[in-house]
Structure 1
């Protein structure tokens, strides 16, 4: 994703209605990814945790939106301070931005860039939630989001995409969020689960997805929204780079589905719907940093490699003993690392930039830069996220009680259940004064709930 660049007044671009409309549509598509993620995660948990899983994503829409307006946009994309953070008073509260003021070097208003980036900021902490299913207090989760985006996401977004950010200045390529979004969220997930521990019954009780159709719906919404996430990250549609990214997004995702399913068939003997959905997400994750640098053939390679390696990685939690409930580490962390590092092999030097990977005569230079970006973000997010979780756990507590976890976090934290198995339609009496055909009239002295 290109940060703002300063241009001479004589060369300053003019507002483009086409690019502005395109970017608003892309922003809406990225927003849709958070509800899509909620459905994806919601179908993967047991019935008793469904609503909590949905809410852990949805609450990010509220919290991060407000923080972004108050100070997040300024920290991430304000004037550089020491190559590690940004700050611009005009961006605080979005109060000093003119209606037609353009984002530096581009033909879209600053407001449009701000809202597009907001949707990335909303989605990233929501990704973390999948690793924490079944066991985290909702209040603690909301507070964790608040702290995490402030001290982790906003600074890392500046490092990677902000003008003057140290990883951007180093030449690390991250088209749409392999480091800032996926490695960042995956490392954070690992840091938190190492602090809060395993679910009750981990490796003993069956914890199968309760609704695979819901998982597939969520995966489809993610795939759809990801075109805005990726193609929109060029911030315009004038030179064809966004079109290449759109094509590569589709190609890599399809290849990853096939790679994951092939591994599953060989390893376990079946083609599963959960594997297809997970493979799609793995491909989307891996192509996110690389899609602006590789050819469609390179995108196939990225997708297949990510599909196979992520499928292999999800089993590590059983061998290593960390309880990553919905495979955030195995898909987002591993997929983000794969996609970011493969830029150093498959970059053609003919799309997003002239940087070439090892297979195109570029030597090890770009691969080295990608490795620095990958491990810097991974280490920072892992350590700081673990520290935040430790502080919250020792103060207000991160986990619900063991009894509450066993009985079901939906009822405990939200006083609701996802499904009504009693057949009463939610518990309210019918809103009619006439009895149904073939039934006796209700007694007149019985109270009917409104």
Structure 2
């Protein structure tokens, strides 16, 4: 089917809705059609003659500027393809559909047409089942909460657009929460402790540092906090594994990621100073939530967050690091030390990996307690060793326990060695001297 000119009132550029149906299109056809750019996040359904150059255009631009992929009109369709099937595929694959219901919305066969006379006008041309589906769709829409443009903000559509964009961003964030381990232990108390450091009304900009040994759970705690706070922010960025990325690709690469996450628009950074200047100039009007994970040098923090004045009041920067001195030397406002798990929580976490329940089997109880005591409440050790011992006979447990009393698990050793290497030379020597006292 050839593309029609947009002057045609039935053209899809004038809108479509999730209630539109076609007896010739199904899920199979959506799948078998050639691959296209159809990963839409939002589908706008509207009557072009009413709102195409007004509210719909403003909303579309607002959503796109926020980095949201929006299906609006036939600019998204390929020449020569059937418009109906493509529209239906786009509707199905969009995460959010926004019907913009105007006076003549029901007169287009591509829109939600369930308004009295409009339905009756089409009854002679359409299957009864299709008409019934339209009527059902209208009932569903009428039960949804919406906005009336002339009653919200005294009719100021610009403010309404901002509200809709914020709402859409909040809804989309639910689909993109950071992944955290399924087995979490003691996390609620720790989250509550850190949240108590944050201004509940988000008036002040806060940089919060979380420090502790490697793989003790800093990143997991920070991710849970990030997911919990994300609904309060329009601009977000999670910069992961900063220590390794900075070492191999440079701080400029991290600055580019931060800029792209916040502005939703790539920007080349030729040097660190240039990146700092750009971030300071473009981020001051934005309320931002940033997670900077695994920082091991104060220059990294200075280049990415610098000081609170870089961001709009109410912004929050969460920093994780193995080295507390980095937090002491910068403008971090609050510092939280993440310690090992207590014995009771360690046993529960270990049991979840070793037995897939919250407590050991009776005949493995003493062995489990002994194994847990060798980990020192280290979550990674509990996970690695518990997973290894799951389903193994007691002989393997006993042999493993003997080894653990002499040398920790290799994976845990490797992780802890990173924390050791991050220490200054003088501190490393002090650490080794103290360690000698524990050698029998």
TM-score by length of 1: 0.26
Q: Which structure ranks higher in relative contact order (CA pairs < 8 Å, sequence separation ≥ 6)? A: 1
TM-score, normalised via structure 2 length: 0.26
Larger Rg: 2
Q: Which has the higher strand share?
A: 2
Q: 1 or 2, which has the higher helix percentage?
A: 1
